[in-house]
Homo-oligomer: A and B are copies of this chain.
Amino acid sequence: MLIRTADPSTAVPVTMDGAKGVSMQVMVGQSDEAPNFAMRHFVVVSGGHTPHHSHPYEHEVYIVEGELEAECGGVTKTVRAGDTMYVPSKAVHQFRNTSESQARFLCMVPIASDCGQQVPGS
């Protein structure tokens, strides 16, 4: 029975170009033999942000703690704990923590993208 607890202290820093102050923990993923999609838990420190980028697969995001500026497809809105945001495939997007507190969110991705390639971090 696979139970895993979100633990910011064991999250791994995201070293992707454009990421700052972001760390990730895979909650359920390929290594758990999840066949279709993966769940990752992200921590963004105050002043941190995810890369400003796009890719050929979607995100489903749920904000667990704090608030973030969320940019998607040229629109920017504030999302807070309890909000879900959908990032369609190929949309340029970024999450920025402009607050003074830590923010945390879940980000789900498919295991494979359109072309059958493994999705990074899944």
Contacts of A34 in B (CB 8 A): 58, 60, 86
Chain A interface residue bracket vs B: 35 or more
Collect the chain B residues with CB atoms within 8 Å of residue A4's CB: 83-84
What B residues does A75 contact at CB under 8 A? 1
Residues of B within 8 A of A110 (CB): 35-37
Distance between Cα atoms of A70 and B4 in the complex (Å): 13
Contact B1 A72 (CB under 8 A): yes
Copies of this chain held together in the complex: 2
Min distance, Cβ A34 to any Cβ of chain B, angstroms: 7
Verify B79–A3 contact, CB threshold 8 A. yes
Pick from B1, B33, B60, B77: contact of A28, CB below 8 A.
B60
Q: Which residues of B contact A72 (CB under 8 A)?
A: 1
* Interface: A10 (CB within 8 A): no
Judging by beta carbons under 8 Å apart, are A27 and B62 in contact?
yes
Chain B positions within 8 Å of A108 at CB level: 37, 39, 60, 108
Q: Chain A 1-12 against B: per-residue CB contact (8 Å), 1 yes, 0 no?
A: 111111000000
Q: A28 — which chain B residues lie within 8 A by C-beta?
A: 60, 84, 86
